[in-house]
Structure 1
Amino acid sequence: MSDSDDSVRVDLWLWRARFARTRGLAADLVQRGAVRLTHHGKQVRLDKPSRLVHPGDELTFALDGRVTAVRVEALGVRRGPPAEARALYVPLGEETSSTA
């Protein structure tokens, strides 16, 4: 399926990483403007689910009333079990919890 091994659609990544139950819900999260991407030090608010993420990018999004910040470590190839999904990212909770 993958025509590029160094990037993947943000809605697909959020679904694979188990931040959204369905890919449609992941797309809705992006379209609502609830996802910010930091790529090469530049932060942008994502507006389309087709935007690409790369390993090393940081995503910040509001989910269930909480702000979640993660660094993308891997893109994944499927929506696997939770342990596999957690290997796709590193939480950046320390930085976000210190800013009130």
Structure 2
Amino acid sequence: MSGDCGRQRLDKWLWFARMARTRALAQELIEHGYVRVDGRKAQQVARQVGSGNVLTIALAQKVVVLEILGCAERRGSYPEAQKLYRLIGPDAPEGE
């Protein structure tokens, strides 16, 4: 993981952060309107995102709201993926 990541494709970021099992599924989430970046519906899978962007993702069982903290160069383990974002909203851990 890198800290301030600059910019990365939205579909790659979702896959690296383990919000989708495959990159193709990440692309489907975006194409079907289930992903918002800073409150606006993402229009392109190649949209650039980076540190500070807030994503709202409508997953099968819940809506996840998170702030991007960093990017990755590859898809790592779940604990590594959790370092890429901070949950905000109703699923955020207490005290944050």
TM-score normalized with structure 1 length: 0.82
> 1 or 2 for the larger relative contact order (CA 8 Å, sep ≥6)?
2
Q: Any residues of structure 2 matched to 1:39-54 within 5 Å, and which?
A: 43-54=39-50
CA-CA distance at 1:95 after TM superposition? 7.9
After TM superposition, the structure 1 stretch with the greater mean CA deviation from structure 2, 43-52 or 67-76, is 43-52
The question of 1:64 aligning with 2:64 is answered no
Displaced runs of 4+ in structure 1, greater than 6 A? none
Q: CA RMSD in A?
A: 1.5
Task: Give the structure 1 partner of residue 30 of structure 2.
Answer: 30
- In structure 2, stretches of 5+ residues that fail to align are none
Q: Quickly say closer, same or farther: Cα 1:95–1:80, change in 2 above 3 A.
A: closer
For residue 94 of structure 1, the aligned residue among 87, 90, 93 is: 90
TM-score, with structure 2 as normaliser: 0.86
Give the aligned residue type for 2:48.
L
Structure 1 residue 33: deviation in Å?
0.6
